[in-house]
Amino acid sequence: MDTRRLLRTSALVLATAGLLISGCTGGSSSPSASESASSGGGGGAAPAAALKPYYAQQLKWRPCGVPGFDCATMKAPLDYAKPDGDSVKLAVARKKATGPGKRLGSLVVNPGGPGGSGVSYLQGYAGIGYPPPVRARYDMVSFDPRGVARSEPVECLSGKEMDAYTQVDQTPDDAAETTRLATSLKGFAAGCEKRSGAILPHVSTVEAARDMDILRAALGDEKLSYVGASYGTFLGATYAELFPDRVGRLVLDGAMDPSLASRQMNRDQTAGFETAFQSFAADCIKVKDCPLGTESVADASRRLKAFFAELDAKPVPTGESRELGESLATTAVIAAMYDEAAWPQLRQALTRAMGGDGAPLLSLADSYYERGGDGSYANLMYANAAVNCLDLPPAFTAPKAVQSALPDFEKASPVFGKGFAWASLNCAYWPTPATGAPHLIEAKGAAPIVVVGTTRDPATPYRWAQGLAGQLSSGRLLTYDGDGHTAYGRGSDCIDTAINTYLLDGTAPPDNKRCR
Q: Is 370 left (phi over 0), alpha (psi -120 to 50) or beta?
A: left
Nearest Cα neighbor of 359 from 345, 343, 374 is 345
* Active-site residue, selected from the candidate residues 230, 301, 367, 474: 230
Q: What CA–CA distances, in Å, run from 80 to 20, 51, 348? A: 33, 9, 50
Task: Please give the distance of CA 211 from its chain centroid, rounded to a whole number.
Answer: 18
Do the beta carbons of residue 329 and residue 365 sit within 8 Å?
A: yes
Nearest Cα neighbor of 474 from 447, 455, 501, 438 is 447
Task: Please give the distance of CA 476 from its chain centroid, rounded to a whole number.
Answer: 22
Cα–Cα dist 481/327, whole Å: 31
* Active-site residue, selected from the candidate residues 184, 213, 268, 485: 485
- Residue 108 forms beta bridges with which residues? 141, 226
Cα–Cα dist 239/101, whole Å: 28
The verdict on whether 485 is a catalytic residue reads yes
Cα–Cα dist 102/99, whole Å: 7
The verdict on whether 142 is a catalytic residue reads no
Question: Where does 424-486 have alpha helices with state H?
Answer: 462-471
Nearest Cα neighbor of 463 from 257, 261, 233 is 257
Q: What CA–CA distances, in Å, run from 339 to 61, 272, 503? A: 35, 13, 25
Query: Which phi and psi (to 5°) does residue 47 adopt?
Result: -60, 145
Cα–Cα dist 428/267, whole Å: 17
**β-pairing verdict for 7-8 and 62-63:** unpaired
* Active-site residue, selected from the candidate residues 163, 457, 483, 496: 457
Q: In residues, how long is the chain?
A: 516
Number of helices (H), then strands (E), belonging to the chain: the values are 20, 12
The verdict on whether 202 is a catalytic residue reads no
Report whether the peptide linkage leading into residue 100 is cis, meaning its omega lies within 30 degrees of zero.
yes
Nearest Cα neighbor of 158 from 188, 117, 182 is 188
Q: Which residues are part of the catalytic machinery?
A: 230, 457, 485
